[in-house]
C-alpha cells in the first residue's frame, strides 16, 4: 500500500499563511456510519475542504466504516461523487482530490460484531505507520443513535481507546431521547472515555454567525451595557425551514421539532445570546457560562405547558403552484402521527440579568421561507414625542430591534426611527446593516469544517458538555411529558405558513407579536 502524498497545487501563499493560525496535529479519523447521509453531505466534503485549504495536517487519514461491503477504491469513488456534489460554495479540484483520496480507507463491518473492531484496530496500526498519524485517533459516531452506547463499549473492549497518541470521540445528535436516556448514555460513555475526550457536537455552535454573537457582545463596549432586562423587552429566536422532512420521516416521527431543534441547537443559541461574559475565552470558561445560563432557565410545571408551549404539524397545501404533502402523508410516517413539526416555547431565565424577560423560540418545517435569526427587541422610549409613519399608520411602541441573522444572508441589522425628509418631525423606521458576505468578501467555513478542525486541535469550546446537555433536556422535559400524553388536533397549519394560530396567541397574551423575518 502506498501512501505517498502528491504535492498540492499552488495557492496564494499569503492566504495560506493567514489560515494557519493554529496547530492541528496529525491524526486518523474513524467515521462510523460512513455510507450515511451526514458523512456524504457534511463530513467528507468538510474534510476535503480542510485538506484543500491546508488547515489540517497532511499526516491524516480517514477510515470509513459501515455495513455496506466496499473496497477502499469503491469508497473513494463513492465519496468523490458526494464531495463534488455537496461542497458548498467551493470548487472541486481533481488534483487535490487525488491526493486527498490516498488518505481514505474503508472497513466494512457491523457495529454489533466484535470482529469489525479488530479490523479497525489493524487498519489504524497500518495507517499510523504509513501516514505517520502519531497514534492520534478521532472517532466519529454518525450511526443510528441507538447504537452509540454499544459502539463505545466495544471501542473500550477492543482497546481502541488507548494508543500512542490521543483518542477522542465525536458524538452526533440526538444525544438521548429524553433526560433519562441522555443521563444513561453519559454514564455509559464515561465508563470508557473521560469527559475531556468526549466531543458532543451541536453544529449550530460551529456556525460563523453563532460564534459572532460572542464577538459582537464581548468584543465591543457599546452593546453589553444595554444587554439586560432594563433595556430589552423580549427576545425572539426563529429557525424556519421551507423544506419538509425530506425522506427522514421515520426518524422525525420519533423526534419532532422540539427534540430535533429546540433541545439542542436553539437552546444553545439562547445560551449564547444570554450568557454572562466569560473571564477568559477558553473551553472551560465559555462552557461554564453556557451551562450556568441553561441551568437558570425556568423549568415549567406541567400545568404551565399549555400556556408557554405550542405544538404544530403541517398539513397539505398548494404552494407556488406545487402540491405539497402534509406530514402525515410523507413516506414512512404514520397517518395518525402526533409529531410536532412546529414548536414554539416561551422561556424565562431566572437570573438578575433576565428575570421576567420572555425568550420566545420557534422552529418549524414547511414555513414560508428558510431563515434563522435572533431578534432582540428593545423597550420603548419613555415619551412618544414624535409622529411616526409606518406601513399600518399605527404608532410603533418599540421601534428598536437588533436582528442577528444566522442564515441565509448572514449579518446584523439595527432598526431605529429616523426623521423623514421634508418639513415637520415625522419619523420613519430605517435600518443600519452589516452583511457578512460584502464586508469580508470571502467564503466562511461551514460549521462542520470548524468543528472537525477544533476536535482535531483539542479545542472543545464549541462542543457541548455533559452538564449543558443535561440542563437543556431538563428545560424541555416537562413539555415532552405533556405533549406525549396529549391528543392534538393535527394538522393545524397548512404548509407554507408561519405555524398555528395558538403560537400567535401565546405571544399576544404577553402583549407581543412574532416578527415577520
Ligand atoms: C438538524 C436537524 O440537526 O438541523 C434537521 O436534524 C434540520 O431537521 C437541521 O433540518 C437544520 O440545520 P441547518 O444547518 O440547515 O439550519
pLDDT score recorded for residue 165: 94
pLDDT score recorded for residue 15: 40
pLDDT, mean of residues 237-250: 91
Rounded Cα–Cα distance for residues 153 and 139 (Å): 13
Q: List all residues 6 or more positions away from 501 whose beta carbon is below 8 Å from its beta carbon.
A: 492
Please name the residue whose Cα sits nearest to atom 4 of ligand 1. Answer: 261
Q: How far is the CA of 43 from the centre of ligand 1 (A)?
A: 15
Tell me whether residue 94 is exposed, middle or buried, using C-beta atoms within 10 angstroms of its C-beta: 0 to 12, 13 to 18, 19 or more: exposed
Alpha-helical regions (H) of 224-355: 249-255, 257, 267-274, 283-296, 305-308
Of 188, 148, 197, which Cα lies nearest the Cα of 172? 148
Atom of ligand 1 nearest to the CA of 372: 16
Mean pLDDT lowest among 60-64, 87-91, 141-145, 209-213: 87-91
pLDDT-derived band of residue 368, with 50, 70 and 90 as boundaries? Answer: very high
Rounded Cα–Cα distance for residues 26 and 431 (Å): 47
Ligand 1 proximity of 233 Cβ (cutoff 6 Å): no
Rounded Cα–Cα distance for residues 373 and 375 (Å): 7
Please name the residue whose Cα sits nearest to atom 9 of ligand 1. Answer: 261
pLDDT score recorded for residue 389: 62
Mean pLDDT lowest among 284-288, 318-322, 449-453: 318-322
Per-residue CA distances from 347 to 18, 177, 475 (Å): 41, 21, 9
Q: How far is the CA of 293 from the centre of ligand 1 (A)?
A: 23
- Strand-pairing partners, residue 372, are 239, 407
* DSSP sequence for 357-405: -EEEEEEESS-SS-EEEEEEEE---SS--SEE--TTSPPPS---EEEEE
Q: How far is the CA of 367 from the centre of ligand 1 (A)?
A: 14
pLDDT, mean of residues 352-370: 97
Q: How far is the CA of 409 from the centre of ligand 1 (A)?
A: 17
pLDDT, mean of residues 466-495: 97
Please name the residue whose Cα sits nearest to atom 5 of ligand 1. Answer: 260
Of 44, 108, 38, 50, which Cα lies nearest the Cα of 79? 44
Rounded Cα–Cα distance for residues 185 and 182 (Å): 5
pLDDT-derived band of residue 249, with 50, 70 and 90 as boundaries? Answer: confident
Per-residue CA distances from 203 to 82, 452, 458 (Å): 20, 10, 17
pLDDT-derived band of residue 232, with 50, 70 and 90 as boundaries? Answer: very high
Summarised one tens digit per residue, pLDDT across range 71-129 is: 999 999 999 999 999 997 778 999 999 999 999 999 999 988 899 999 999 999 999 99
pLDDT score recorded for residue 8: 46
**Is residue 462 pLDDT above 50, yes or no?**
yes
Question: Quick check: 444 and 410 in contact, CB under 8 A?
Answer: yes
Q: List all residues 6 or more positions away from 28 whose beta carbon is below 8 Å from its beta carbon.
A: 60, 61, 62, 63, 124, 127, 128, 131, 133, 136, 137, 138
Q: Residue 474 belongs to what H/E stretch?
A: helix 466-484
pLDDT score recorded for residue 392: 54
Rounded to the nearest integer, the mean pLDDT of the chain is 91
pLDDT score recorded for residue 2: 40
Ligand 1 proximity of 172 Cβ (cutoff 6 Å): no
Pocket probe mutation, ligand 1, options 203, 262, 263, 266, max atoms within 8 Å of Cβ: 203
- In the chain, the percentage of residues whose pLDDT exceeds 90 is 78
Question: Quick check: 136 and 166 in contact, CB under 8 A?
Answer: yes
pLDDT, mean of residues 473-485: 98
Summarised one tens digit per residue, pLDDT across range 126-146 is: 999 999 999 999 999 999 888
Q: Which three cell numbers stand for residue 509?
A: 397574551
Rounded Cα–Cα distance for residues 406 and 212 (Å): 9
Ligand 1 proximity of 373 Cβ (cutoff 6 Å): no
Q: How far is the CA of 242 from the centre of ligand 1 (A)?
A: 12
Which DSSP letter does residue 5 get? P
Mean pLDDT lowest among 131-135, 267-271, 425-429: 425-429
Atom of ligand 1 nearest to the CA of 204: 14
Q: Residue 91 belongs to what H/E stretch?
A: none
**Is residue 10 pLDDT above 50, yes or no?**
no
Q: Which three cell numbers stand for residue 364?
A: 418549524
Instruction: Give me the active site residues, please.
Output: 265
Mean pLDDT lowest among 132-141, 392-401, 494-503: 392-401
Q: How far is the CA of 272 from the centre of ligand 1 (A)?
A: 18
Atom of ligand 1 nearest to the CA of 207: 14
What pTM, to 2 d.p., does this model score?
0.92
pLDDT-derived band of residue 17, with 50, 70 and 90 as boundaries? Answer: very low
Evaluated on CA atoms 123, 125, 126, 129, the torsion sign reads positive
Rounded Cα–Cα distance for residues 446 and 96 (Å): 19
Ligand 1 proximity of 330 Cβ (cutoff 6 Å): no
Amino acid at each position: 500500500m502506498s501512501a505517498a502524498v502528491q504535492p498540492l497545487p499552488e495557492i496564494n501563499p499569503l492566504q495560506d499563511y493567514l489560515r494557519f493560525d493554529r496547530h492541528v496535529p496529525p491524526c486518523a479519523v474513524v467515521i462510523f456510519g460512513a455510507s450515511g447521509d451526514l458523512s456524504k453531505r457534511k463530513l467528507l466534503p468538510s474534510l476535503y475542504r480542510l485538506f484543500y485549504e491546508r488547515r489540517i495536517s497532511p499526516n491524516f487519514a480517514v477510515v470509513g466504516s459501515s455495513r455496506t461491503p466496499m473496497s477502499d477504491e469503491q469508497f473513494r469513488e463513492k465519496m468523490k461523487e458526494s464531495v463534488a456534489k455537496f461542497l458548498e460554495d467551493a470548487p472541486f479540484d481533481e488534483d487535490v482530490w487525488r491526493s486527498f483520496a490516498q488518505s481514505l480507507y474503508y472497513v466494512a463491518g457491523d457495529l454489533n460484531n466484535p470482529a469489525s473492531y479488530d479490523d479497525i484496530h489493524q487498519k489504524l496500526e497500518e495507517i499510523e505507520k504509513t501516514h505517520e498519524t502519531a497514534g492520534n485517533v478521532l472517532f466519529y459516531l454518525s450511526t443510528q443513535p441507538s447504537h452509540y452506547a454499544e459502539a463505545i463499549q466495544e471501542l473500550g473492549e477492543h482497546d481502541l481507546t488507548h494508543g500512542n497518541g490521543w483518542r477522542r470521540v465525536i458524538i452526533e445528535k440526538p444525544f438521548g431521547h429524553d433526560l433519562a436516556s441522555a443521563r444513561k448514555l453519559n454514564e455509559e460513555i464515561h465508563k470508557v472515555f473521560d469527559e475531556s475526550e468526549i466531543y458532543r457536537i451541536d453544529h449550530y455552535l460551529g456556525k460563523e454567525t453563532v460564534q459572532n454573537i460572542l464577538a459582537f457582545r464581548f468584543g465591543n463596549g457599546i452593546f453589553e451595557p444595554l444587554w439586560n432586562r432594563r433595556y430589552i423587552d423580549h427576545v425572539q429566536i426563529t429557525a424556519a425551514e421551507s423544506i419538509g422532512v425530506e425522506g427522514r420521516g421515520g426518524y422525525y416521527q420519533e423526534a419532532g421539532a422540539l427534540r430535533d431543534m429546540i433541545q439542542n441547537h436553539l437552546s444553545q443559541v439562547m445560551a449564547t445570546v444570554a450568557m454572562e461574559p466569560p473571564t477568559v475565552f477558553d473551553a472551560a470558561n465559555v462552557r461554564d457560562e453556557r451551562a450556568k445560563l441553561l441551568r437558570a432557565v425556568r423549568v415549567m410545571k406541567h400545568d404551565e405547558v399549555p400556556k408557554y408551549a405550542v405544538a404544530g404539524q403541517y398539513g397539505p397545501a398548494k404552494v407556488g403552484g406545487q402540491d405539497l404533502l402534509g406530514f402525515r402523508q410523507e413516506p414512512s410516517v404514520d397517518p395518525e402521527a402526533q409529531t410536532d413539526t412546529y414548536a414554539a416555547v416561551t422561556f424565562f431565565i431566572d437570573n438578575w440579568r433576565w428575570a421576567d424577560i420572555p425568550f420566545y423560540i420557534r422552529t418549524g418545517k414547511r414555513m414560508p421561507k428558510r431563515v434563522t435569526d435572533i431578534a432582540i427587541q428593545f423597550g420603548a422610549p419613555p415619551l412618544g414625542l414624535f409622529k411616526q409613519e409606518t406601513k399600518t399608520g399605527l404608532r410603533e411602541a418599540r421601534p428598536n430591534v437588533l436582528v442577528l441573522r444566522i442564515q441565509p444572508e448572514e449579518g446584523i441589522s439595527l432598526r431605529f426611527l429616523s426623521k423623514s425628509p421634508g418639513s415637520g418631525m415625522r419619523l420613519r423606521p430605517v435600518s443600519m446593516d452589516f452583511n457578512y458576505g460584502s464586508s469580508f468578501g470571502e467564503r466562511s467555513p461551514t460549521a462542520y469544517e470548524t468543528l472537525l478542525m477544533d476536535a482535531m486541535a483539542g479545542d472543545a469550546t464549541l462542543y457541548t458538555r455533559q452538564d449543558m446537555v443535561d440542563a437543556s433536556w431538563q428545560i424541555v422535559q416537562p413539555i415532552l411529558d405533556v405533549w406525549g400524553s396529549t391528543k392534538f388536533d393535527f394538522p393545524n397549519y397548512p404548509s407554507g405558513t408561519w405555524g398555528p394560530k395558538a403560537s400567535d396567541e401565546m405571544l399576544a397574551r404577553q402583549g407581543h407579536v412574532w416578527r415577520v423575518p
